Chain A
């Protein structure tokens, strides 16, 4: 387990964070245009729809961009060692920032397939991260 700046819980993401307590990964979908939304919000940024439902997701995707951090950023400490901050494009059609763990940082390449993994947070929630698929 590494050090983290732990995320606040916005009103529109309560269901997302609650699901992570059981290591369930859910995404908000707009029922009007049938599109996944990220980050969670109650109005669809694509069609202005206001009916959002939560659907389970496999958390499979590919690295869109990646950066190896050899000096610790927000919330991290030197002892954590180098780590990768990446943008991951989920197959569901949304992009999220995350870390790619479980391999040497230098091995993470743009386009590489990744799968969901979890890191525990101090309050029982889990943080979604990714590892090579």
Chain B
């Protein structure tokens, strides 16, 4: 978002997601994608005939053909789990500038089902020299875990961050998950439980790592003008920005600073907000260290002070900074590219639909996606009628 002319011009008007306490869904691929699009459109009170833009993290032409539509706008940006936040940024700009009117973004991945049934065909792969195969794989990393373990190693050595502090992030995610009936794991855990869980890639414990589950979601975005007459209260895109840093972890210049340090301040600037204005933070938690780095890079605390910031449990229910109120990738669901769920939960919080886990009076929510191995971030600032 450039000068702020896009502020409030587009709004999320419909959402859907799918997840199950068993960790497995009963459909997949295009079938699941189409179901999510249908639900999100129903939620918005729109039909497929209204859609003239499509976003997905790959070949957008494939899903458009499958659906039999001829969109004016596609975005197949694939930057890992933050792809969907980046799509919202691009689609908002497209809507603001009149490129299109109604954009649907979709995601479906079913790693558990695929393990049982065999994989679905994949249409994308790495382009150019395979940097990971030549310069990392010979050393036996367990990707993506190793990348985040190295980031945690560095943060601990440089700033004195402790395993207990990282564990608190997992504990608070679980406290939120207890209030989400669809969460994969809802039983309470303690810091000691995290520290007692298996450690196969130091310094990360198993409970520092996200789930592997099936999951799916979708959103619908349209102009603020059109949003006013639709079924749900509009959730406005107040600001959005992208940060791209590296592909493989050994090329990351500083393992304690993610590209969120670029996209965060930019998105906040576009929205005209500061960290203290954020009522709900949906911060991509592929690992506890991932979430900790976001808190620093988005300016909720100073660089290096993330550990001390989180240790009082302020990220959990009733805390000063409610984070990942659906239970996050750590306890709710994580099919691989988790960013979709950040947008869905942020929208529901701003619409006041979250029941037991509703943050009272939530008016500003941030969906901050982080894809690859701390490689690419997309920050989206969302607001409701009160903050538009």
Contacts and interface: CB of A to CB of B under 8 A. Distances in A.
Interface of A: 4-13, 39, 41, 64-76, 80, 83, 85-87, 95-99, 109-111, 127, 129
Contacts of A111: 157
Given A39-B131, A97-B249, A65 B138 contact: no
A97 B136 contact: yes
Contacts of A95: 250-251
Given A12-B129, A97-B250, A74 B157 contact: no
Nearest to A45: B251
Contacts of A7: 133-135, 137-138
Given A69-B201, A73-B140, A97-B139, 14 more contacts: A65-B255, A67-B146, A67-B202, A67-B203, A68-B201, A69-B200, A73-B141, A85-B150, A86-B150, A87-B154, A87-B249, A99-B139, A110-B154, A127-B138
Interface string B278-309: 00000000000000000000000000000000
B133 to A, nearest CB: 6
Contacts, number: 113
A3 B11 CA distance: 53
B138 A5 contact: yes
Given A8-B133, A39-B131, A87-B150, A74 B143 contact: yes
B347 interface: no
Contacts of A11: 129
B292 to A, nearest CB: 15
A98 B131 contact: no
B188 interface: no
Contacts of B154: 64-65, 87, 110
B39 to A, nearest CB: 38
B142 interface: yes
Interface residues of B, number: 32
Contact of A39 (B134, B141, B202): B134
Interface centre among A4, A95, A97, A110 (most CB of B within 10 A): A97
Contacts of B129: 10-12, 41
Nearest to B202: A68
Given A7-B133, A85-B141, A99-B140, A66 B200 contact: no
Contact of A67 (B137, B138, B201, B251): B201
B325 interface: no
Contact of A9 (B134, B146, B249): B134
Contacts of A69: 140-142, 146, 200-202
A75 B140 contact: yes
B142 A71 contact: yes
A96 B133 CA distance: 13
A15 to B, nearest CB: 14
A74 B140 contact: yes
B130 interface: yes
A129 B151 CA distance: 20
